[in-house]
């Protein structure tokens, strides 16, 4: 071997060594990066999931709230005519068959006579029929329908589900001047007019 060949071999060896070390370093670097990345990704994933879960939780309670609530009465004719003597019941509290029966018998409405013009009567019937319990997706209305079966009550307070929810209230309490009867929903349900009947919002007046 002459000097030239030795030098080339030596240089080749150095180059080989260098590239090998370089390769290993790169691989290590790569691995490390990956590890960091993974950790970062994981953290990201975690916080993302947490955020998602939190958002979902918020949305759920919101939904639950909405799902339970009834739609606020927004028909002015119904409000005026049917709110003259008592609390204005949301149409979702009774099935359409009940509303039809009530409007057919207004000359003897629980002992009172309710007089209505034909136009008003039609407007009210339309409103009640389109928003009745069986057409509602509210959990409250679904429970009412489930509790009714084939019954067509004239009173919300005759629905089993409603009666059961109030069976602990004594008749003495209901007879209080500030209440009158169980039909007076808004006497105890402070948010009744907004369609919210959660037990958290009940205050029984003295
Ligand atoms: C002249 C007064 C008067 C008017 C107007 C009136 N109501 Fe009544 N309503 C009554 C009385 C009295 C009761 C029985 C309340 C009780 O038992 O405490 C009653 C009860 C009800 C009930 C049953 C409540 C329960 O116990 O579940 C419904 C439903 C009802 N009315 C719907 C209507 C509708 C719909 C209209 C409009 C078309 C209307 N009311 C207009 C006097 C009236
Ligand atoms: C004398 C007061 C009073 C009156 C009047 C009254 N409620 Fe209630 N209501 C209560 C109380 C108290 C509860 C809670 C019962 C319980 O803790 O489970 C309740 C519970 C309910 C619930 C179940 C709530 C839940 O979160 O499970 C519904 C629905 C309801 N009432 C609807 C009505 C409707 C509709 C009327 C009118 C037709 C009415 N209430 C009249 C006192 C009243």
Ligand 1: atom nearest CA of 184 is 18
Ligand nearest to the CA of 163: 2
For 83-104, letters b (16+ CB in 10 Å) and e give: eeeebbbbbbbbbbbbbbebbe
What is the structure's pLDDT at 104? 97
Q: For residues 156 and 8, what is the distance between their CA atoms, to the nearest angstrom?
A: 102
Among protein residues, the one with the nearest Cα to ligand 1's atom 32 is: 82
Q: 188 CB less than 6 Å from ligand 2?
A: yes
Q: Whose CA is nearest to atom 16 of ligand 1?
A: 183
Q: pTM to 2 decimals?
A: 0.78
* Predicted local distance difference test score (pLDDT) of residue 33: 46
Mean pLDDT by 10 residues, the chain (206 residues): 66 58 51 47 46 44 70 98 98 98 98 97 98 97 97 98 98 98 98 97 98
**Which ligand has the nearest atom to the CA of 155?**
1
């Amino acid at each position: 071997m002459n000097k030239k060949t030795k030098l080339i071999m030596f240089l080749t060896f150095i180059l080989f060594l260098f590239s090998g070390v370089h390769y290993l370093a790169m691989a290590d670097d790569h691995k490390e990066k990956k590890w960091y990345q993974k950790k970062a990704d994981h953290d990201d994933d975690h916080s993302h999931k947490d955020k998602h879960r939190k958002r979902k939780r918020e949305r759920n309670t919101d939904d639950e709230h909405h799902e339970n609530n009834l739609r606020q009465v927004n028909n002015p004719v119904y409000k005026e005519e049917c709110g003259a003597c008592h609390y204005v019941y949301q149409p979702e509290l009774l099935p359409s068959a009940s509303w039809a029966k009530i409007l057919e018998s207004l000359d003897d409405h629980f002992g009172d006579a309710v007089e209505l013009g034909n136009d008003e009567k039609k407007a009210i019937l339309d409103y009640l029929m389109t928003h009745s319990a069986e057409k509602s997706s509210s959990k409250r209305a679904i429970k009412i329908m489930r509790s009714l079966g084939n019954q067509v009550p004239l009173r919300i307070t005759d629905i089993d589900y409603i009666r059961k929810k109030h069976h602990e209230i004594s008749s003495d309490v209901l007879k209080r001047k500030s209440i009158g009867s169980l039909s007076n929903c808004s006497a105890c349900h402070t948010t009744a007019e907004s369609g919210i009947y959660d037990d958290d919002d009940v205050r029984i007046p003295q």
